[in-house]
Amino acid sequence: MLRSFLFVPAIDEKRLARVHERGADAVILDLEDAVPPEAKAAARAGLRGVAEGLAAKGVKVFVRVNADTPADIDAAVCGAVQGIVAPKVRGASQAADIVEAIGARANARPVDFIALIESASGIFNAAPIAGVNGVSGLALGSEDLTAELGVAPTADSLDLPCKMIALAAATRGLMALGAPVSIGEFRDLDLYRNAIALARRVGMTGTFCIHPAQVAVANDGFAPSPAELDEARALLAAWREAEATGVGVIAHGGRMIDAPVVARAKRLLGIST
């Protein structure tokens, strides 16, 4: 799973020149909020070259398109782009239309599609959106959602939306992106770090970043700690020893261990079987 997605305006040459050095698992070239209306056509025209340049440096490239803008998808679906982020996804039919639009341009090449959910209706439709074939991930749009609710983007206001996105994504094994914090928070990194920890505890797998200072915090926060990895290895070793004797439940570290706990340890270690 990708832990950090760093936004960069698709027309910002200064930031584009160094974005590959920031340590993000993926970069999102933004055609939406970060590009003024009068510059969008130029951003689309230059997108392929920018994406190819970053991909040549080993960057996983995504593009955030504008809602209901086929010209953005035309520009974004190219060989150097791994995935599309579509904003303001409210329901399954809209998600299916976007999948169809991407597929019509991709010539059978797999292209990830992350549905950015930024409204109350989108949150309540998260599970149907996740159920659309071709959706690769769900992401929480904390700023637009809390603006609709008339509240600040805090751990209290965003706790339930995070949980609903995490649960919906888990039904299909998708990426679940976001945290219960303002995406614009890059000064108070302790607050940001705590929000990332909360997100991981409820099942989120990564997050969007708008500032390089957030990247290392996201990468660390969504990765298992050395202690977690050590415990998972010890648990699996004990389980395999017991399994050889035909035992289905064991005591380990003061608790009972059975198949679901073992499955969680394997997932933590990236072991499929």
**Mean pLDDT of all residues in 149-175:** 98
Q: Cβ–Cβ contacts within 10 Å for residue 71, how many?
A: 13
**What average pLDDT is seen over the chain?**
94
Kindly give, in sequence order, each residue whose CB lies less than 8 Å from that of residue 37, ignoring residues fewer than 6 positions away: none
Q: Are residues 143 and 258 in the same domain?
A: no
Question: Which alpha helices (DSSP H) does 133-251 contain, by range?
Answer: 142-149, 155-170, 189-201, 212-221, 226-243
Maximum distance among all alpha carbons in the chain?
Answer: 70
For residues 146 and 152, is the Cβ–Cβ distance under 8 A?
yes
Evaluate if residue 108 carries a pLDDT over 80.
no
Q: Are residues 43 and 125 in the same domain?
A: yes
For residues 111 and 137, is the Cβ–Cβ distance under 8 A?
no
Q: What is the pLDDT of residue 40?
A: 95
CA distance 212 to 226: 24
Q: What is the pLDDT of residue 65?
A: 98
Q: Are residues 26 and 114 in the same domain?
A: yes
Q: Are residues 118 and 252 in the same domain?
A: no
The CA dihedral of 11, 13, 19, 25, to the nearest 10 degrees, is: 20
Q: Are residues 230 and 217 in the same domain?
A: no
Q: Bigger pLDDT: 244 or 272?
A: 244
Q: Are residues 92 and 21 in the same domain?
A: yes
CATH code of the domain covering residue 128: 3.20.20.60
Evaluate if residue 272 carries a pLDDT over 60.
no
Residue type for position 261:
V
**Chosen domain end from 181, 200, 221:** 221
Cα 89 to Cα 31, 35, 157, distances in angstroms: 16, 20, 20
Q: Bigger pLDDT: 258 or 136?
A: 136
**Mean pLDDT of all residues in 165-190:** 96
Residue type for position 218:
A
Q: What is the pLDDT of residue 70?
A: 94
**Chosen domain end from 200, 221, 242:** 221
Evaluate if residue 235 carries a pLDDT over 90.
no
Q: Tell whether residue 255 is among the known ligand binding residues.
A: no
Residue in the block written with tokens 């996740």: 130
**Mean pLDDT of all residues in 220-226:** 92
Q: Are residues 126 and 259 in the same domain?
A: no
Range of the domain at 213: 4-221
Query: Taking the model in full, what pTM does it have?
Result: 0.89
Q: Are residues 172 and 131 in the same domain?
A: yes
Q: Write out pLDDT tens, residues 121-131.
A: 999 999 999 99
Q: Write out pLDDT tens, residues 53-71.
A: 999 999 999 999 999 899 9
Evaluate if residue 119 carries a pLDDT over 60.
yes
Helix (H) or strand (E) holding 252: strand 250-252
Q: Are residues 255 and 205 in the same domain?
A: no
Kindly give, in sequence order, each residue whose CB lies less than 8 Å from that of residue 46, ignoring residues fewer than 6 positions away: 10, 11
How many domains are contained in the chain?
2
- Band (pLDDT 50/70/90 cuts) for residue 189 is very high
Q: Tell whether residue 118 is among the known ligand binding residues.
A: yes
- Give the strand pairing for 26-30 and 61-64: parallel
Q: Bigger pLDDT: 228 or 248?
A: 228
Q: Tell whether residue 144 is among the known ligand binding residues.
A: yes
Q: Are residues 100 and 84 in the same domain?
A: yes
Q: Are residues 58 and 173 in the same domain?
A: yes
Q: Are residues 250 and 162 in the same domain?
A: no
Long-range Cβ contact pairs of 35-44 (< 8 A, separation 24 or more):
35/9, 35/10, 35/11, 39/11, 40/66, 40/72, 42/11, 43/9, 43/10, 43/11, 44/71, 44/72, 44/74, 44/75
